[in-house]
Amino acid sequence: MAFMPNRSVPDYWFEKAEQCFRRSRIDSNARVELEALGNVFMVKAIELDIKLQKLAKATTPLLPPARG
């Protein structure tokens, strides 16, 4: 997989899933396989997005209380 500076990896997997779903509507011979592959990509996108969100929350320093 090539490095894509303007997109996140979860976005990449989501786009691949969408491509599979679109192609499954066109190609009836490979419909089941394409939908299954699209589901796999979607799961990868969601899992990775959740991991990245948890990592971001864990590494974000807490702000000190505001002084008023």
Q: How confident is the model at residue 47, as a pLDDT?
A: 94
Q: What is the model's pTM?
A: 0.72
Q: How confident is the model at residue 16, as a pLDDT?
A: 95
> Does residue 1 sit in helix, strand or coil?
coil
Q: How confident is the model at residue 67, as a pLDDT?
A: 72
Tens digit of each residue's pLDDT, the chain (68 residues): 455 455 688 999 999 999 999 999 998 899 999 999 999 999 999 999 999 899 888 887 766 667 76
Residue 5 is classified by DSSP as T
**SS3 of the chain: helix, strand, coil, percent, to 5:** 75, 0, 25
Q: Are 21 and 34 in contact (CB under 8 A)?
A: yes
